[in-house]
Amino acid sequence: MSDYAAPIADMRFVLNEIVGLGEIAGLPGYEETTPDLVDAVLEEAGKLAAEQLAPLNHSGDREGAVYENGVVRAPGGFKEAYRHYVEGGWNAVPFEPDYGGQGLPWALTSALQEMWNASNMSFALNPLLTQGAVELLQSHGSDGQKAAYLPKLISGEWTGTMNLTESQAGSDVGALKTRAVAEGDHYLISGQKIFITWGEHDLAENIVHMVLARTPEAPAGTRGISLFIVPKFLLKEDGTPGQKNDLRCVSIEHKLGIHGSPTCVMAYGDGGVCVGYLVGEENRGMEYMFTMMNNARLAVGVQGLAIADRAYQHARAYARDRVQSKDIAGSAGPVPIIRHPDVRRSLMTMRTLNEAMRMLAYTAAGVLDRGKRHPEEAARQRNQAMVDLLTPVSKAWCTDLGVEIASLGVQIHGGMGFIEETGAAQHYRDARIAPIYEGTNGIQALDLLGRKLLRDKGAAARALIEQMRGSLNALQAAPGEDTRAIRAALERSFDTLSSATGWIVEAGGRDLRLAAAGASPYLRLFGTVAGGWLMGRAAVAAAGQLGQANGDGVFLAAKIKTARFYADNVLPQAQALATMVTEGGTSTLAIDEDQF
């Protein structure tokens, strides 16, 4: 029995009504994306997640990945589950058909990512890293490199890793010291990398490490970083894995969560003969990394959503099952705790935020699809600017909420939530990594501030806010009191976001530190308002479908009420966040360092 069921009805609603998957299917290259195929993909993926991956989530946490003499063993069952995943063709879904990909949109892929991560986040991290390697090679690899590595990485027979971090180089990637010295057609790599997710394991016959390193004459900082392919096993003439490369896993970390996913310290070139192959040109490694980083950040945002939905399903089941105390308004005997208004508030909070996150994350992926595939250059650019803007918001907002919602999930369980056997605590532990990796949420906030707002003086943000305002008319026209109340709350929140955006652009021009002190609440404000906008659109779509013969009336009515809850209980935070941005920065910086 699985305790996870993919929320396919909501996923389909979001993809069709909010993301416009039908329109995306009309873009060149996405013709395969028929409604029948989408339905089949969601159903089958849901089965794999519920039947194969979810049952290994708790056992994987308890067992953890195990390190012994350079060998890393994944938890029991992971190997077989990974084989199912590969054999089902799931790894190939979003990649280019030239090398075996299925060429389906990222919008659809994001729903699958939600399922893999909700059912088993530790497991799902492995394909997530492989995805990064595929994207790097698709964009920047030579034809030979593509031919050698892409088919196996796309199928999932081999997995990929990202090697950026060193002990002195975390958020400041430019401080890395791993060396790469040219020797003939390859380079010799030497150095140690930390926090390498699935850096070593026994699930695949080869592991393709994408490693950032510096050549001897490279300039300092991020401008002197090059990118290398460093396979665990060097390829033989026939392309199959041959000799072991000079690299090894030195240890794995003892972590708060994601215990099933080995986090490796990797040593390259201890014997002096670690072979790496340059991707593209020297010193352009960071630039290449950014081509995959945006998408990886969107995927981590999906993780925040995923773990939050798992926590919600867990807590909902407990709240229905656990009978305790009478109804406050009177009842014959004790009632399931879902009936208690305070528990209901927690569940509604989880529910509405999850639905909003789902829309934001899938929408960003859909905009990415348009940015890649739209036939018109101007539209591609417009969509690319939009996804650039949405990426840090989706990553940070969804992962911060993932932690908060997992915490609520523990709370709903009461004392049982603190007992590891229950499983709620695992979500609370697992969720905590997502605000940290792939660029901490502080880094996301600075990215939003610097690269996304100050660089274009707020143009993309203002364009999005105008797009948001465009949804107000439909809310006005929709029937019922709820949509009118949502409209009023939204209009206020758009004004609030607009003013705060203006302040950031203005303050950024005169006092960068002051503007940066407001970066995190600004990002949260942005996510909160964008989530409200999408909930408003969902309410309009639901109201429109409610009268139709084939609509699921219960689902649609609940959607409108959930949007109303967002307007009444989440959107009010917008004004407080804006005040923190515009008024709170000076006192943030008022105390000297040595007074702490």
| Cβ 322 to a copy of itself shortest distance, Å | 8
How many other CB atoms sit within 10 Å of the CB of residue 575?
15
Residue number, 16 or 411, with CB nearest to a copy of itself: 411
Residue number, 145 or 192, with CB nearest to a copy of itself: 192
In angstroms, the CA 450 to CA 457 distance is 10
Can residue 87 be called a binding residue for a copy of itself (CB under 8 A)? Answer: no
| Cβ 35 to a copy of itself shortest distance, Å | 26
| Cβ 516 to a copy of itself shortest distance, Å | 4
**DSSP state letter for 266:** E
Task: Give the 3-state secondary structure of residue 50.
Answer: helix
Yes or no: say if 525 and 578 are a contact pair by the CB < 8 Å rule.
yes
Give the amino acid at 347. Answer: L
Placement of tokens 């280019």 in the chain: 96
| Cβ 444 to a copy of itself shortest distance, Å | 10
Identify whether 63 is a catalytic site residue. no
Of the candidates 534, 527, 535, the one whose C-alpha atom is nearest the C-alpha of residue 558 is 535
Work out the burial of residue 466: count CB atoms within 10 Å of its CB; fewer than 13 is exposed, 13-18 middle, 19 or more buried. exposed
Q: Which of 114, 135, 200, 438 is catalytic?
A: 438
Give the amino acid at 515. Answer: A
Among 35, 66, 418, 467, binds a copy of itself (CB under 8 A): 418
Of the candidates 229, 13, 235, the one whose C-alpha atom is nearest the C-alpha of residue 111 is 13
Q: Which of residues 346-385 bind a copy of itself (CB under 8 A)?
A: 346-348, 351
| Cβ 40 to a copy of itself shortest distance, Å | 27
**DSSP state letter for 90:** G
Residue number, 12 or 340, with CB nearest to a copy of itself: 340
Q: Which of residues 319-338 bind a copy of itself (CB under 8 A)?
A: 320, 324-325, 327-329, 334, 336, 338
Of the candidates 78, 421, 129, 423, the one whose C-alpha atom is nearest the C-alpha of residue 266 is 129
Among 403, 465, 497, 540, binds a copy of itself (CB under 8 A): 403
| Cβ 195 to a copy of itself shortest distance, Å | 5
Residue number, 120 or 197, with CB nearest to a copy of itself: 197
Yes or no: say if 257 and 247 are a contact pair by the CB < 8 Å rule.
no
Q: Containing H/E element for 566?
A: helix 553-569
Task: Give the 3-state secondary structure of residue 192.
Answer: strand
Residue number, 15 or 403, with CB nearest to a copy of itself: 403
Q: Which of residues 184-203 bind a copy of itself (CB under 8 A)?
A: 194-195
Of the candidates 306, 314, 295, 263, the one whose C-alpha atom is nearest the C-alpha of residue 117 is 306
Instruction: Select the span of 76-84, 101-109, 383-391, 511-519 touching a copy of itself (CB under 8 A).
Output: 511-519
Q: Which x/- pattern over 224-253 shows residues binding a copy of itself (rule: CB under 8 A)?
A: -----------------------------x
In angstroms, the CA 383 to CA 366 distance is 9
Angle, CA 573 vertex, CA 571 and CA 577 arms, to 5°: 125
Yes or no: say if 285 and 227 are a contact pair by the CB < 8 Å rule.
yes
Instruction: Select the span of 13-21, 66-74, 358-366, 570-578 touching a copy of itself (CB under 8 A).
Output: 570-578
Q: Which of residues 419-448 bind a copy of itself (CB under 8 A)?
A: 419-421, 425, 428-429, 432-433, 435-437, 440-442, 445-446
How many other CB atoms sit within 10 Å of the CB of residue 527?
27
> Is the CA virtual torsion 45, 46, 47, 53 positive or negative?
positive
- Which ranges of 511-552 does DSSP label H, i.e. alpha helix? 512-517, 519-546
| Cβ 492 to a copy of itself shortest distance, Å | 11
In angstroms, the CA 446 to CA 522 distance is 10
Q: Which of residues 117-176 bind a copy of itself (CB under 8 A)?
A: 165, 170-172, 175
Q: Tell me the angle at which helices 553-569 and 519-546 cross, rounded to the nearest 10 degrees.
A: 150
Can residue 510 be called a binding residue for a copy of itself (CB under 8 A)? Answer: no
Residue number, 463 or 558, with CB nearest to a copy of itself: 558
Can residue 452 be called a binding residue for a copy of itself (CB under 8 A)? Answer: no
The length of the chain, given as a count of residues: 596
Give the amino acid at 467. Answer: Q
Can residue 590 be called a binding residue for a copy of itself (CB under 8 A)? Answer: yes
Residue number, 102 or 261, with CB nearest to a copy of itself: 261
Among 341, 377, 378, 549, binds a copy of itself (CB under 8 A): 341
Residue number, 346 or 501, with CB nearest to a copy of itself: 346
| Cβ 437 to a copy of itself shortest distance, Å | 7
Residues in binding contact with a copy of itself, number by CB under 8 A? 95
Can residue 9 be called a binding residue for a copy of itself (CB under 8 A)? Answer: no
Can residue 405 be called a binding residue for a copy of itself (CB under 8 A)? Answer: no
CA distance readout (Å), 456 to 78, 169, 298, 316, 526: 46, 29, 22, 44, 17
Among 410, 475, 507, 535, binds a copy of itself (CB under 8 A): 410
Residue number, 549 or 591, with CB nearest to a copy of itself: 591
Yes or no: say if 225 and 279 are a contact pair by the CB < 8 Å rule.
no
Q: Which of residues 512-551 bind a copy of itself (CB under 8 A)?
A: 512-514, 516-517, 519-521
Q: Which of residues 263-292 bind a copy of itself (CB under 8 A)?
A: none
Can residue 499 be called a binding residue for a copy of itself (CB under 8 A)? Answer: no
| Cβ 303 to a copy of itself shortest distance, Å | 14
Q: Residue 207 pairs with which residues in a beta bridge?
A: 159
Instruction: Select the span of 10-18, 40-48, 375-383, 586-594 touching a copy of itself (CB under 8 A).
Output: 586-594
Q: Containing H/E element for 144?
A: helix 143-155
Residue number, 34 or 59, with CB nearest to a copy of itself: 59
Catalytic residue numbers, as ranges = 438
